[in-house]
Amino acid sequence: MPRPTPPTPSTLPAASQRPPPGRRLRHGAGALGRLVLTLAITGLGLLAVTFFIGRVVPVDPVLAAVGDRASEATYQAAREALGLDRPLWEQFLTYVGNALTGDFGTSVLTSNPVAVDIARVFPATLELATVATILGVLLGVPAGIIAAVRQGTWTDHVIRVLGLIGYSVPVFWLGLMGLLVFYAKLDWVAGPGRLDLLYVGLVEPVTGVILLDSAMAGAWDVFRDALAHIVLPASILGYFSLAYISRMTRSFMLEQLRQEYITTARVKGLPERTVIGRHALGNVWVPLVTVIALSYATLLEGSVLTEIVFSWPGLGFYITNSLLNADMNAVLGGTVVVGAVFIGLNLLSDGLYRLLDPRARP
Amino acid sequence: MSPQRAGLRAWLLSEAPASRGQARLGDLYRSGLRFRRNPLALAGLIIILLLLLIAAIGPLLAPFSPTDQALDLRLLPPGAEGHWLGTDGLGRDILSRLLHGGRITLAVVVLVAIIVAPVGLLIGTVAGYAGGLIDSVLMRLTDIFLAFPRLILALALVAALGPGIENAVIAIALTTWPPYARIARAETLTIRNSDFIAAARLQGASPARIILRQVMPLCTSSVIVRVTLDMAGIILTAAGLGFLGLGAQPPTPEWGAMVADGRKYLLDHWWVATMPGLAIFVVALGFNLLGDGLRDVLDPRGDR
């Protein structure tokens, strides 16, 4: 998945590209200020790009609003009402102002404000990406540790090849194959969608995350059905997260195992379990948290194709569907939201790193 | 081994090369030796060579036309007479379509690489060498594009430009260059203060000449590794766009679009979607294996 794309580690700003911890120490508060500035500039850049895309799109927004039978006067009036007669920079400022207040215009397809639509579909994406990340962490971290400890053995090679396969398989195809085998042939899991029709609307949406809502309401039959639906798409997404997480875990772990303190611990006669589990792992999990946050961010975006294949009514499904119906407001609004979440998670992973690594504390 | 070959080997592996040419050839030979010891990388190389072969002569090997429809022969299973991999919903031979589609896949990958690598290299080396304001501006620009979720940006761009293979290439290229700029900048920073750069500057070389002749060649090897590793991602993004109907338009036999086509028949006629997906997977795996091996060979330090 491309890095949809299957997240190749390449699409992510890897931990190795960050400044060394020592340098961060010296700028304490200054670093925070720079972080905020970077965030503001990146966010502005994001809006500039979507604004630009919105302007080059061949669809005339005025025509889309008034229809092609409107008179010249109506057309001009609509043009002024939409603010398209003003200079570009003024339009851009309005666009930024609106975006900051959460106003992305109205979706032509659903005639709801885009922000309302996104708030409705986002929990579905969040649910899928969260379950997938949990799976990826639970399996990927131990796999990476085992591969590092048994470096060069066949166990290591098998885990490496499994990871490479994860980087190489098209996610939409793997989803289809999963449906074919586990749903159509074996009937182990439920089909596309989040719930069977029978269970839709039984639980009052509180968070929008069906697994949480049904568990809180005590509706265990709904919970079981939701679980049967999410298990396949989440496993497939989780596999990509596993590929990335196990690879990074392995390389962090190898880096630690080469250090002298590990040799010292072994010479002291500590059991291997303590050397690996306490000494080495204690230093690995700090950079690992950043990796996990980054992989979570890519899953939120990489789920686009998975959502299509599994008819999962999330953000990716919404964006693609709007796109195929030339609903540009919805596409750009969705792009901005995904981009903002992406930037936010990157920032969060950076912050977590500072918080967890004692050397990076001011 | 004949004495002649042993002599050549010793000359190539010599620790004290007498000329620049001997040093370069020896380096290449040593890399080749390291590469040969890695069976996975060799497998990747073979897959890629096969793809090149298919792109070159595949259309000649194809038993049928990739676009001619034969509705009386639709949805034949693999192994049916004359149709090794079966036929699709319009009776087109799947093997023939795959063989023709190899060219499209290769074209997309090569086009993106040709656009992205030099642009990233240029931006990164200029930023790293110039420093100061130019560096800040270029790197902020890189950060902005790096912060963009790749597939979503490609989606929005293709939506704006209209579907088609050229626009898919443009969209993928626009979302792929930032890591190259970062790599090139990092490499530039490590060499910009070396003595040979100072020597070139003292001889009166202009910054442009130093970047082009001294800095860029030293950044190429890490960029090449990165390109190879990225190829799989590019193929998968292109196939994803094709799957969504935003890449090559029908009846072009693009592999991603073929998977989307087979989705309708998935439950009863599994092969229509399975075969093109397998093709994408094998080619992407080939690039990943090769890239992994190349990285081990060209950069023995890192194991990432």
Size of interface A-B (CB pairs under 8 A): 199
pLDDT at A238: 92
What span, in angstroms and rounded, lies between the C-alpha atoms of A280 and B60?
A: 57
- Using alpha carbons, select from A161, A168, A135, A129 the residue that is nearest to residue A242: A135
**Does pLDDT of A174 surpass 90?**
yes
What's residue A17's pLDDT? Answer: 44
Distance, in Å, from the CA atom of B143 to the CA atom of A290, rounded to the nearest integer, reads 17
Nearest CA in chain A to B230: A10
Task: Specify which residues A106 forms β-bridges with.
Answer: A113
Distance CA A7, CA A300 (A): 11
Determine, for residues B151 and A2 on separate chains, whether the beta-carbon distance falls below 8 Å. yes
CATH class of the domain comprising A115-360: mainly alpha
Nearest CA in chain A to B172: A2
Residue, of B14 and A29, whose pLDDT is higher = B14
Segment A155-182 mean pLDDT = 90
Alpha-carbon distance of B9 to A359, in angstroms, equals 50
CA dihedral A225, A226, A231, A232 (to 10 degrees): 90
pLDDT for A9 beyond 50:
no
d(CA A357, CA A340): 26
Closest of A300, A302, A320 to residue A311, by C-alpha: A320
Cα of A214 to nearest chain B Cα, Å: 31
The answer for residues whose C-beta is within 8 angstroms of residue B302's C-beta and 6 or more apart is: B295
Residue B69, SS3 per DSSP: coil
Question: To 5 degrees, how large is the angle CA B56–CA B62–CA B66?
Answer: 100
B251 preceded by cis ω (within 30°)?
Answer: yes
Q: What SS3 state is found at B169?
A: helix
Q: What pLDDT is attached to residue B17?
A: 79
B169: pLDDT strictly greater than 80 = yes
Q: What is the pLDDT of residue A61?
A: 66
Binary contact (B284, A170; C-beta < 8 A): yes
Mean pLDDT, chain A, integer: 80
| Residue in A298, A308, A339 closest to B244 by CB | A308
> Phi/psi class of residue A219: alpha, beta or left (left: φ > 0; alpha: ψ in -120 to 50)?
beta
Give the count of beta carbons closer than 10 Å to the beta carbon of residue A178: 19
CB-based contact (8 Å) between B240 and chain A?
Answer: yes
The predicted structure's pLDDT at residue A1: 42
Separation of alpha carbons A318 and A334, rounded Å: 8
Whether residue A4 and residue B236 make contact (CB cut-off 8 A), yes or no, is: yes
Question: For the stretch A217-239, what's the b/e string if a residue is b when 16 or more beta carbons lie within 10 angstroms of its beta carbon?
Answer: eebeebbebbbbbbbbbbbbbbb
Number of helices and strands in chain B (H, E): 13, 0
Sign of CA dihedral A237, A241, A242, A243: positive
**Quick one: pLDDT band at residue A65, thresholds 50, 70, 90?**
low
Distance between CA atoms of residues B120 and B180, nearest Å: 5
CB B117 within 8 A of CB B223: yes
Q: Pick from B48, B51, B144, B176 the residue to mutate for testing the A interface (most A CBs within 10 Å).
A: B144
pLDDT computed for residue A133 by the predictor: 93
Q: What is the ipTM of this complex?
A: 0.83
Q: How far apart are CA B265 and CA A212, in angstroms?
A: 35
B262 to chain A: closest CA residue: A176
CB A247 within 8 A of CB A9: yes
B window 131-190, beta carbon within 8 A of A: 140-141, 143-144, 146-153, 155-157, 159-162, 179, 182, 186
Give the separation between CA A282 and CA A260, rounded to whole angstroms. Answer: 15
Rounded Cα–Cα distance for residues B276 and B262 (Å): 9
* pLDDT band (50, 70, 90) for residue A60: low
Query: From the list B234, B243, B289, which residue is nearest A164 (CB)?
Result: B289
DSSP-assigned beta bridge partners for residue B37: none
Alpha carbons B131 and B137: distance in angstroms, whole number: 10
Q: What is the mean pLDDT of residues B110-121?
A: 91
The answer to whether the CB atoms of B273 and A179 lie below 8 A apart is no
* pLDDT at residue number B285: 92
Please list every residue in chain B whose beta carbon sits closer than 8 Å to the beta carbon of residue A320: 155, 244
Rounded Cα gap, residues B112 and A42, in angstroms: 25
Q: What residue in A sits closest to B258 (Cα-Cα)?
A: A173
Q: What are the φ/ψ torsions at residue B168 (nearest 5 degrees)?
A: -65, -40
Closest residue in B to A151 (Cα) is B303
Structural domains for chain B: 31-65+82-298 (1.10.3720.10)
- d(CA B240, nearest CA chain A) in Å: 7
In chain A, what residues touch B292 (CB-CB under 8 Å)?
A: 164
Confidence of residue B303 (pLDDT cuts 50, 70, 90): very low
A258 Cα to chain B: minimum distance (Å):
12
Tokens standing for B18?
A: 């007498």
- pLDDT interval class at B88 (50, 70, 90): confident
In this structure, chain A runs to a length of 362
Rounded Cα gap, residues B12 and B151, in angstroms: 46
User: How sure is the predictor about B304, in pLDDT bands with cuts at 50, 70 and 90?
Assistant: very low
What is the C-alpha separation between A85 and A78, in angstroms, rounded?
10
CB B185 within 8 Å of CB B222: no
Q: Decide if B236 and A10 are in contact by the 8 Å CB cutoff.
A: no
Return contacts of A113-121, CB within 8 angstroms, 24+ apart: A114/A329, A114/A330, A114/A333, A114/A334, A115/A333, A117/A318, A117/A330, A118/A315, A118/A318, A118/A333, A118/A334, A118/A337, A120/A208, A121/A313, A121/A314, A121/A315, A121/A317, A121/A318
Contact assignment for B230 to A10 by CB distance below 8 Å? yes
pLDDT at A169: 93
**What's the 3-state SS for chain A?**
CCCCCCCCHHHCCCHHHCCCHHHHHHCCHHHHHHHHHHHHHHHHHHHHHHHHHHHHCCCCHHHHHHCCCCCHHHHHHHHHHCCCCCCHHHHHHHHHHHHHCCCCCECCCCCCEHHHHHHHHHHHHHHHHHHHHHHHHHHHHHHHHHHHHCCCCHHHHHHHHHHHHHHHCCHHHHHHHHHHHHHHHCCCCCCCCCCCHHHCCCCCCCCCCHHHHHHHHCCHHHHHHHHHHHHHHHHHHHHHHHHHHHHHHHHHHHHHHCCHHHHHHHHCCCCHHHHHHHHHHHHHHHHHHHHHHHHHHHHHHHHHHHHHHCCCCCHHHHHHHHHHCCCHHHHHHHHHHHHHHHHHHHHHHHHHHHHHCHHHCC
Nearest Cα of chain B lies from the Cα of A220 at a distance, in angstroms, of: 30
B38 interfaces chain A, CB cutoff of 8 Å: no
Would you say residue A25 has pLDDT above 50? no
- H/E stretch holding B14 reads none
> Can you tell me the mean pLDDT for B42-48?
89
User: Domains of chain A: which residue ranges?
Assistant: 29-100, 115-360
In angstroms and rounded to an integer, the radius of gyration of the C-alpha atoms of chain A is 24
| Cβ–Cβ below 8 Å for B236 and A11 | no
What are the chain A neighbours of B227 within 8 Å (beta carbons)? none
Taking the CA of residue A215 and the nearest CA in chain B, the distance in Å comes to 32
pLDDT digits (tens, 9 = 90+) for A281-329: 888 888 888 888 888 888 877 678 899 899 888 888 898 888 888 787 8
pLDDT for A56 equals 66
* Mean of pLDDT values over A338-358: 78
Nearest to A339 among B147, B230, B285 (CB): B147
Q: Would you tell me how many other CB atoms lie within 10 Å of the CB of residue B56?
A: 12
Residues A185 and A172: beta-carbon distance below 8 Å: no
Task: State the Rg of chain B over Cα.
Answer: 23
Is the pLDDT score of A143 beyond 90? yes
Predicted confidence at residue A59, as pLDDT, reads 63
Beta carbons of A338 and A344 less than 8 angstroms apart = no
Residues in chain B closer than 8 A to A247 (CB atoms):
304
Average pLDDT, chain B: 84
- Please report, rounded to a whole number, the percentage of residues in chain A having pLDDT higher than 70: 86
What is the three-class DSSP state of B27? helix
Quote the percentage of chain B above a pLDDT of 70: 98
Distance (Å, whole) CA B40 – CA B138: 38
The answer to whether the Cβ–Cβ distance between B233 and A5 falls below 8 Å is yes
